[in-house]
Each structure stands twice: as C-alpha cells, then as structure tokens.
Structure 1
C-alpha cells in the first residue's frame, strides 16, 4: 500500500514524464509522414519497433533511475510509468489534432501511436529521472553505461527525422563521394562534441586518439545501426539496392551521431 508521499511523488513523476515526452516527440507528432506511414508500415515492423522501445526504456530506467530506488523491480516500474506517460501524451496530442480516429479504425490509430512512441518514451524516461526536484545525475558509470546513453540520444534525434521524405530525397541525389564525405563530417562533428571543444561533460582523462577509437567510432557505428533499423522499420529499404540502403543510413546517421554525442555529455 503506497504511502501518501509515495503517491504524490508518483503523480509528479508521471507529470514530468508527460512533459518530457512532449518535448522530445513534438516534432514527430507534427510530421505528416508519420501519420501516413502508420497506415502503410507492416504491423510486424511496428511490433518490432515497440519491443525495441520497451527494451530501451527499461535500459534507461535501469541507468537513470526515476523513483530513487534501485533494483530490477524498480526499473521495470519506472519504465512502465514512463511508457504510459509517453503513450498518454502522444495519444492526447494526436487525437486532438484529429490524426487518430479511434472509432473509425483503432488498429490504425494504435499503429500511428506506436510509431511516435520511441522518442516520446525516451523523453518521458529522461524527464522522470533528471528533471525533478533534487534530481541528480546517475552514479552508475562505465563504458557500457555510456554506450547505452549514446544509443538513446541517437534514437531521439534520428526518430524525429527518419519518417520524412527528405532522407530519401537527399540520399537519391548524393554520389558515393558525398556519402564518404558525410561519414567523415559526422565523425568530425561527433568527436568535437565528445572531445576537444570545451563542452561541459567532456572526458578529461582520455587522449584524443583513445577517445576517437572508443567513443567516436563506436558511437558512430551505433548511430548508423540505429539509423538503419529505423529506416528498415519504416519500409525505406523496400525495392532499393545496397548502395541506396547505405546512403540513406549515412544520411540519417548524421543527426543520430550528434544525438549520441550530445546524450553522452548531457546524461
């Protein structure tokens, strides 16, 4: 039986989760391609994305906390509250905008909602853990911990632009040389965030070579994987060649890599 203080903290945390979900996912909620893709994407792809979202939120709850308690049970509760807050926030906004029509076809409404849940759930988890009164940065550290935060940052930045047609259009006009230069530019920008330009949270104990090898290159590889997975989920790889698959992934990896680097510094 929860105590009154615990209940108030739960309500406050739920409210922070709604706010964080809206802050992180509002660009996606207002993007027309999401509404259309929600009706066209295969349901098994949506289901796979939802499973990935749940696992990511559980991992964030484990790393960032939220309720102030430790352990897997607390992490699952934190993840559940964050997921529910994100679902409620996204559903209210999309229903109010007349994007979701639950009476006409609830299955289509659920598909659209689940596509928008990825950045919303990450935002809810972050807000619950880090934006409350007296919130502190997580004491947990380590290489795996930082890589998981980079994945979360890549997801938020990439998910907000992955559904747009611009990714496909940009990839269609780029030559292989443009692709190689974009990879180099993404690595350079990411490394500038991680090491060398004076952002708060940079690692001071690592040299530039070690930092480039262990965080920049690995982080970019994770961002590229996130980009490719999101594009596959949205059906962007249907009936195209391998070169176009790689190019689209590299284009989306630009914002994903910046999100990964920023998340490592902020979180």
Structure 2
C-alpha cells in the first residue's frame, strides 16, 4: 500500500473520530439542557450557590464526579461499549462535567445571573450548583434518549416513512407535541417570581440573544444531537417539515404557550406594555422551547 493511501486512510479515520466527538458533545449538551433547564429558573439555587463556601462547592463537585462516573460505567453519553476501561470512564466523566458546567454557565450568563460585575466566588458557586442537573443530563442523554445515527435504524425509518400520514395530520401532531412538551417544562416556572426578576434585568438586545439561543438549542436537540427518531424527524412529511421552518414554527408555538401560561397565572395583564409581554414571554420561551423540542422527539 502506497504512503499516500496510508495517509489518506489515517486522515479519514481522524475525521471520523472528530465527527464522532463533536456529535457526542452536541448530544451531551442537548441532554443537559433537557434535564437541567428547569432548575436554572429557581432563585433558591442561585442564592444557595452564591452563599456556598469553598468546601461545600468542592463537595458538590466530588459527589457529582462519583455519580457521573457510575453512570458512565453503565452507558454514558458517548457511544462506547459497556464495561469500558476505568480510565475511559474517568475521561468521559471529566468531559461530561465540563459540558455541564459550560452549559449552566452559558445559561446563567444568558439570564444575567452572572455578569462581569459578579464576584468570582459567587459566580463559581452558582455555576457548580446549577451544573449538577446539567451534568446528570449529559451523562443520561445517550441512555434515555438514544442515538439514531446508525444504518440499521435509518433503514427502518426509511421503510416506515413510506406510510407517512397526510401533511396536515403530521403538522397538527407536531403542534400538539410541542404544546404538551412546552407546557410540561414551563408550567412550573410560569407562576414563580423568577421570570419577572429576570425580565427586570434584561435589555432589548439581550432579549434578541435569548431568542436566538432558544432557536439554536431547539434545532440542535431535534436535528443535530442524534437522539432517537431524529432521522424520522428529517424525513417526516408536513407543512413545515423542513428543519429551519419546523424550528421557527415550533418556537412560535412555544412562545404562544408561554404567553398563555403567564397570562393564566396573572404574571401578565392586558394593561401591561407590549415590551413587558415580550420580555416575559421570551424568557419563559427558552424552557418552553426546550420542552417543545423534547415533545417533538416523541412524535
């Protein structure tokens, strides 16, 4: 075999490794958002994290490491075979914790709970305590949500897609699933004081950033993370059944559900300015959109 062929094989193998690694990170991050987003809208956790002393923060990190390590020994968020060597589980655990901490820090910054003026000790405590459900979500992503990116699953999906229902029925099913998922996640958040508190701290440009982040996370969960039925999502027939149009449509449905819940719990009234409606709805729309994405995965 020539030297060029060997180099080409090595290059392709390296590309596959990087592609698999990136897919694992995306899937783990999306699993973290699905499991961890409700707790990020809990002010008690913000306060506990901001007041936590360094020994308590270290204890939280240690306990999180042990739990995630045990989860990685059974399944984990990567496509490793079970009973992999302990050192592999350790590296996967560190990576899962890094993803969880990064995701929780990102959302805390997005919600303005961490700003450039936040003391380092307070920011670290909030991030560590909020990262616990995120990291568990990362570790459990592959176990509970599965991975559809394999040839056999794709072949099964393609055969089933020959029996797709009519476009209108598929679209109505998606809307219903989005409403159910959005309600399940956001219903416990809507009546609390967290949304008004967060809305008071955001500026109009920041609202646009939250909106864009909601769309990106929703798209990633449904179309990029490799969860179960993902190939089916791409091939299902419907009025809005293209990835971008479906993401936008589902986001609008999630915003509608968020608006109704805020009005239902009297967090918004018809006497409030439209800017208040917009800020509150977009802030609750983030968890509602993540719930809607999870609902669509179940269709």
Output the TM-score relative to the length of structure 1: 0.47
Return the index of the structure with the highest Cα Rg: 2
Output the TM-score relative to the length of structure 2: 0.42
